[in-house]
Structure 1
Amino acid sequence: MSKLTLILFSTVLLTLVNACNKDDAETDSDATIVNVTPANFLTAGLVEPITIVSKTLSDGSTADCYKIVVNSLASDHTMGPWCPSNISDDASKGGIWLEGGKVYDVDGAFVKNMATFYKDNTWMMYDATTGAITKTSTKTECEEAANPNVGAQYRNYCVECLPSYVANLSHTYYLPVTPKAASSAIAFGNGPMSNGPSSRGLAFNGVVFDAPAPTSVILAAYTLAPFDDAGGHINLAAGYHYHAATGLTTKIAQADSHSAMIGYAFDGYGIFERLDADGKEYTDLDASRGHTDTTRGYHYHVDAPGNNNFINSLHGEYVL
């Protein structure tokens, strides 16, 4: 064998070895698969015991899935308040608002200064004489003011819907017992004609991690629908639901310095807090906001609360 032939043979062999190693690495990226643990869900948030049923996944296959029926109310933290009552109220009397990647306290001063904040003098959500803030006070007003086609009579209203309005509401969700990686990331749906789920997953208290709040639509009607300090608020169809993770829900601490677990995405992969135990953000997340380790397998880390977002897409198949 000539020297040139030997060099060419060695190059081809090295290329094949590297290719095999690459394939092995890609295969190993999902080698650790962690099943959903139903005991992680708080019983106070469940309407009935969690059961296993067979369901069709988004790739057409069938799989064992947990059927989780929840009451859509948080049992592990106080819900509300949302709207302060007077422009003299401090932050303890109101919730938060998410704007431009930042979290703002909805205190009396915030409401008073909305015309300046949004550079629009139409905003006037309080009585100039008494300082009383105009806000919904009944279930009917909640329903009408939270409507996307809200009438002019609710212009400059702070929308506050109370837990008592949805006390008898329940929702059923399904999580694959064993997460199944999809061939490519699955985009979330946005509207009745789109593919993919809209909501992102479930907190351990059974409350849904929802799609980004339509803040531009809310503001366009000259209404404000604040979130409470846990990042949640109420509408009559969805019940109580989250639009941001602020660290107030039940979490499961990890034995290493990894961030705590706070729930599951609808593909069955775990959702964890954004920062690790040292307060550092993960820098190796994929486009879905997930990555893999040998302890937790593939899992997600939530976005910053000011971004009105949790995760960007699903890594795995979900229940249709």
Structure 2
Amino acid sequence: GGTETTCYRITVAGYPVTYETGPFCPDTITDSADAGGIWFDGNGVYDLDGEFIVGLSELYGDDNWLMYDDDGNVLVTETAEEFEAAARPDVDPSLQNHCVEGRLEWLDNGEPISTTVVIPVQPVLADEPATVRGNLGVTLDGVVIAASAPVDAILGAYTIAAFDDCGGHFNPFDGYHLHGAVGCSEVDEVSEGETAMFAYAMDGFPVHSPLDDPASADLDECNGHETEAAGYHYHANNTAENQVIECLVGQTVAATGDAAAPAGGARPEPQEEVGTQ
């Protein structure tokens, strides 16, 4: 740490500029996959359709799962108050066995929650890779990549914190954010043998979509490698793993002060900051 470097201070809009969020939860147990989003838990990626809702007790080996009523309607958070009471570690007992979904209009003033990040213009290697605390990076279309979703706590409360098909969802504190790399934020060209870039990690290195065969790419412990065309970059994990990036090889800089210019991925002028690992 302590390296002085030039950084971008970026205010991320908190809502994607390249796609619409949702849907999240299905309405009934007869709904197809088109009616809902996805769920991933570290072991697999599941379509949030009616069949998934019916099969929760079998999937997780617990007969206490029952997320629909006698008429086949899925129990979903239907108000801002229910959303706030369910999208937290201490889920209100009345909202157990609910599919939890948020909406933009349920956030404060019905507006996205912006986040300011500071990212090195030229990444500075750390002495050794470090596990990520807090946000992992930002997508090119203006969404924060969050750390792993707390799956054990979510399932322990008999809830499903539904993601949309782009791997994101809302919570009352952070707004819309991503937990999985599904490909929706790819807005960059692809070089031969590579996948598209879709984000920058907090240390300034690019993040590309998952590889079909990561074992053949000689990735390091942080899921990164260097190529002639793209330089050093990370590859996101498979969505099922609920961990977009394993660790960071570069130093990061803590954001301070108020936000700079608005952004869905826009870059303001560089500012001098002090990097800390």
Q: Which TM-score band applies after superposition, normalised by the shorter structure?
A: 0.7 to 0.9
Corresponding residue for residue 247 of structure 1: 183
2:33 is the counterpart of 1:91 = yes
Contact 1:76 1:250 in 2 (8 A): no
Query: Where does residue 195 of structure 1 map in the other structure?
Result: none
Structure 2 unaligned spans of 5+: 255-277
Matched, 1:183 2:105: no
Matched, 1:307 2:241: yes
Q: Distance in 2 between matches of 1:108 and 1:256?
A: 39
Match of 2:97 among 141, 156, 160: 156
**Correspondence 1:142 to 2:69:** no
Matching residue within 214, 219, 227 for 2:163: 227
Could you say which structure has the larger radius of gyration? 1
- The runs of at least 4 consecutive aligned structure 1 residues that moved more than 6 Å come to none
Matched, 1:107 2:43: no
Aligned pair count?
Answer: 250
- Give deviations 1:60-102, integer Å, cap 9, x for gaps: 1222111111221112112111111111111011111113432
Within 2, Cα distance between the matches of 1:256 and 1:155? Answer: 47
Residue pairs, 1:42-81, within 5 angstroms: 59-81=1-23
C-alpha deviation, 1:150, in angstroms: 1.2
Q: Tell me the C-alpha RMSD between the 2 structures.
A: 1.4
Deviation of 1:139 after TM superposition, in Å, equals 1.2
Using the size of structure 2 for normalisation, the TM-score is 0.86
% same residue:
38
Does residue 200 of structure 1 match 2:200? no
Superimposed CA distance per residue, residues 171-193 of structure 1 (whole angstroms, 9 cap, x where no aligned partner): 1111111111111112222xxxx
Query: TM-score by structure 1 length?
Result: 0.75
Structure 1 position 168, deviation (Å) = 4.4
Provide, for residues 96-140 of structure 1, a one-character-per-residue CA deviation record: whole Å limited to 9, x for no partner: 111343211010111112112111111111112x11111111111
Q: CA deviation at 1:273?
A: 1.4
Paired with 2:125 and 2:7, the residues of 1 have a C-alpha distance of: 15
In the alignment, structure 1 segments of 5+ residues that lack a partner are 1-58, 190-197
1:260 aligns with 2:183: no
